[in-house]
Amino acid sequence: MERGAEFPHFGSRHAKSSPAPRLVLPVNPNSNIPDFITNIDTNNANANLNVDANANANTSNGNQRAHPCIIREQDQYMPIANVIRIMRRILPSHAKISDDAKETIQECVSEYISFITGEANERCQREQRKTVTAEDVLWAMGKLGFDDYVEPLTVYLNRYREAENERNNLRVDQLPYVGFKRSMDYGPVGGPPGPPPYGPGFPMAHHPAMFDASAMGGGYHNGSGAGGSSSSSAGAQNSGLPSFDPYAQFK
Nearest to 123 by CA among 111, 112, 135, 113: 135
Nearest to 210 by CA among 156, 159, 157, 152: 159
- Rounded Cα distance between 244 and 176, Å, is 10
Q: Under the criterion CB under 8 A, does residue 91 sit at the interface with another protein? A: yes
Residue ranges in 30-49 that form contacts with another protein under rule CB under 8 A: 32, 34-36, 38-39, 46-49
Given the complex with another protein, which of 26 and 223 has the nearer CB atom? 26
Q: Under the criterion CB under 8 A, does residue 111 sit at the interface with another protein? A: yes
DSSP 3-state of 40: strand
Query: How many C-beta atoms lie closer than 10 Å to residue 178's C-beta?
Result: 21
Q: Under the criterion CB under 8 A, does residue 158 sit at the interface with another protein? A: no
Q: Under the criterion CB under 8 A, does residue 5 sit at the interface with another protein? A: no
Q: Which one among 74, 77, 78, 233 touches another protein, defined by CB under 8 A? A: 78
Q: How far is the CB of 208 from another protein (least distance, A)?
A: 23
DSSP 3-state of 49: strand
Residue ranges in 204-233 that form contacts with another protein under rule CB under 8 A: 217
Q: Under the criterion CB under 8 A, does residue 131 sit at the interface with another protein? A: yes
Query: Which residues sit opposite 49 in a β-bridge?
Result: 40
Residues 75, 53: contact at Cβ < 8 Å? Answer: no
Q: Which one among 7, 11, 61, 149 touches another protein, defined by CB under 8 A? A: 149
Amino acid at 142: G
Given the complex with another protein, which of 73 and 136 has the nearer CB atom? 136
Q: Which stretch binds another protein (CB under 8 A): 1-9, 119-127, 173-181, 242-250?
A: 119-127
Residues 236, 198: contact at Cβ < 8 Å? Answer: yes
7-35 as b/e, with b when 16 or more CB fall inside 10 Å? Answer: eeeeeebeeeeeeebbbbeeeeeebebee
Which residues lie near another protein (CB under 8 A)? 16-18, 22, 24, 26, 32, 34-36, 38-39, 46-49, 51, 53, 71, 78, 83, 86-87, 89-91, 94-98, 100-101, 103-105, 107-109, 111-113, 115-116, 120-121, 124-125, 130-134, 136-138, 141, 144-146, 148-149, 152-153, 156-157, 160-161, 217
